[in-house]
């Protein structure tokens, strides 16, 4: 899979920022119901313990920081979306959340024992800069871990929506060019990105998450409103194309019908490393 950088990182960064400001109101009820499932393995990967000083980068509504705090860590969260930070502060008033950029962390060198990023890396214009920044703010011996979605052939929810969009609409809607969404789904790519930033003991594994939603339409609604690139691409379709995409998504999801709603495989790649 290609790893070429975004051709206009500033434009892509601004596009993602505007997108997250829009998605913030919908996130907790859509992708948030799925991303929380990765929290325990993510925290285990950084060997969280009582007293660990942890930074949750791209924290969104603050789930990971809150889970770390409940495991005895001193946790801070950072996100570049004011509305996400507001949501995190509302949900977890006792915790420290601040606005800031993953690509230029507002912390001194060696400030944290652990840094995590749950589903943030795939939204960044300069993911290498974010990994490098995580390395910089860690103490020697500190641990870093991130999660991203597996490829769409495995993360079925993405596969179904993207396939329906290319069959019944268009994926070429003129969005700002960004790094490939599934770049770090590739274990070798994740491992080498960690090594290039200076991390050792790089390890990558897959978590078999399943997205349980009350209906097939709830998955379509999540794709339409809960994210940035896919949501923007769907919103740019003609009304006729969007209706056909929705029909195709609902039809394909019939095979994932559960006792209630749907249960869709959404495996996750978890990568981690140590700053020696
Ligand atoms: C998919 S959400 C993940 C939220 C949360 N970590 C979770 O576990 O559900 C991605 C988050 O990354 C944030 N984000 C994207 N680019 C960022 C950047 N350059 N700096 C800081 N936050 C960023 C978005 O605002 C959004 O809250």
Q: pLDDT band at 6, cuts 50/70/90?
A: low
Instruction: Confirm if 62 and 51 have CB atoms less than 8 A apart.
Output: no
182-202: average pLDDT? 98
Q: pLDDT band at 32, cuts 50/70/90?
A: very high
Instruction: Confirm if 116 and 145 have CB atoms less than 8 A apart.
Output: yes
- How confident is the model at residue 5, as a pLDDT? 52
Q: Ligand 1 centre from 252 Cα, in Å?
A: 29
- Whether 42 is in the pocket of ligand 1, judged by its Cβ within 6 Å, is no
Instruction: Confirm if 235 and 180 have CB atoms less than 8 A apart.
Output: no
Instruction: Confirm if 27 and 221 have CB atoms less than 8 A apart.
Output: no
174-194: average pLDDT? 97
- How confident is the model at residue 2, as a pLDDT? 38
Instruction: Confirm if 252 and 152 have CB atoms less than 8 A apart.
Output: no
Pull the structure tokens for residue 104: 């230029």
Of ligand 1's listed atoms, the one at least distance from the Cα of 103 is 19
Nearest CA to ligand 1 atom 4: 60
- Whether 184 is in the pocket of ligand 1, judged by its Cβ within 6 Å, is no
Q: Ligand 1 centre from 62 Cα, in Å?
A: 10
Nearest CA to ligand 1 atom 12: 58
232-243: average pLDDT? 98
User: Burial of 123 by CB count in 10 Å (0-12 exposed, 13-18 middle, 19+ buried)?
Assistant: buried
d(CA 100, CA 57): 9
Q: pLDDT band at 148, cuts 50/70/90?
A: very high
- Whether 102 is in the pocket of ligand 1, judged by its Cβ within 6 Å, is yes
Alpha helices (H) in 109-214, listed in sequence order: 127-137, 156-168, 187-196
Q: Ligand 1 centre from 240 Cα, in Å?
A: 32
Instruction: Confirm if 27 and 61 have CB atoms less than 8 A apart.
Output: yes
- How confident is the model at residue 132, as a pLDDT? 98
DSSP 241: H
Instruction: Confirm if 266 and 156 have CB atoms less than 8 A apart.
Output: yes
Residue that is written with structure tokens 């999660």 in the block: 147
- Whether 120 is in the pocket of ligand 1, judged by its Cβ within 6 Å, is yes
- How confident is the model at residue 1, as a pLDDT? 34
147-160: average pLDDT? 98
Mutational test site, ligand 1, from 11, 21, 60, max ligand atoms within 8 Å of CB = 60
Portion of the chain with pLDDT greater than 70, in percent: 98
User: Burial of 71 by CB count in 10 Å (0-12 exposed, 13-18 middle, 19+ buried)?
Assistant: middle
- How confident is the model at residue 130, as a pLDDT? 98
d(CA 211, CA 150): 13
Nearest CA to ligand 1 atom 8: 118
- Using one digit for the tens of pLDDT, what is the confidence trace for 35-89? 999 999 999 999 999 999 999 999 999 999 999 999 999 999 999 999 999 999 9
3-state helix, strand, coil in the chain (%, to 5): 45, 20, 35
Instruction: Confirm if 267 and 150 have CB atoms less than 8 A apart.
Output: yes
Q: Ligand 1 centre from 244 Cα, in Å?
A: 30
H or E element that contains 227: none
Mutational test site, ligand 1, from 58, 119, 121, max ligand atoms within 8 Å of CB = 58
To the nearest 10 degrees (0 to 180), the angle between helices 239-253 and 216-225 is 140
β-pairing, 138-149 vs 268-274, is antiparallel
Q: Ligand 1 centre from 64 Cα, in Å?
A: 12
Alpha helices (H) in 28-79, listed in sequence order: 32-35, 39-45, 63-70
- Whether 58 is in the pocket of ligand 1, judged by its Cβ within 6 Å, is yes
SS3 104: strand
- Whether 103 is in the pocket of ligand 1, judged by its Cβ within 6 Å, is yes
d(CA 116, CA 6): 23
* Mean pLDDT taken over the chain: 96
As a residue count, the chain comes to 276
Mutational test site, ligand 1, from 87, 120, 124, max ligand atoms within 8 Å of CB = 120
């Amino acid at each position: 899979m290609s790893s070429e950088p975004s051709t206009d990182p500033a434009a892509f960064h601004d596009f993602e920022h505007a997108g997250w400001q829009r998605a913030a109101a919908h996130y907790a009820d859509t992708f948030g119901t799925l991303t929380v499932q990765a929290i325990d393995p993510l925290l285990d990967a950084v060997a969280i313990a009582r007293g660990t000083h942890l930074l949750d980068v791209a924290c969104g509504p603050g789930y990971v920081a809150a889970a770390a705090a409940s495991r005895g860590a001193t946790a801070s969260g950072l996100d570049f979306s004011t509305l996400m930070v507001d949501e995190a502060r509302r949900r977890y008033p006792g915790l420290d959340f601040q606005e800031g950029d993953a690509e230029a962390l507002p912390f001194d060198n060696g400030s944290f024992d652990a840094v995590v990023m749950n589903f943030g890396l795939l939204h960044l214009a300069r993911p290498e800069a974010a990994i490098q920044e995580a390395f910089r703010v860690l103490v020697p011996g500190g641990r870093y871990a991130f999660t991203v979605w597996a490829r769409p052939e495995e993360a079925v929810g993405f596969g179904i929506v993207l396939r329906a969009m290319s069959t019944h609409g268009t994926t070429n809607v003129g969005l700002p060019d960004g790094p490939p969404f599934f770049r770090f789904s590739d274990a070798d790519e994740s491992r080498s990105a960690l090594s290039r930033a200076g991390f050792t003991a790089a390890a990558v594994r897959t978590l078999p998450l399943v997205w349980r939603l009350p209906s097939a339409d709830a998955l379509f609604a999540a794709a339409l409103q809960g994210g940035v690139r896919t949501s923007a691409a769907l919103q740019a379709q003609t009304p006729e194309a969007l209706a056909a995409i929705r029909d195709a998504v609902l039809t394909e999801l019939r095979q994932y019908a559960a006792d209630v709603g749907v249960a869709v495989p959404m495996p996750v790649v978890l990568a981690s490393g140590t700053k020696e």
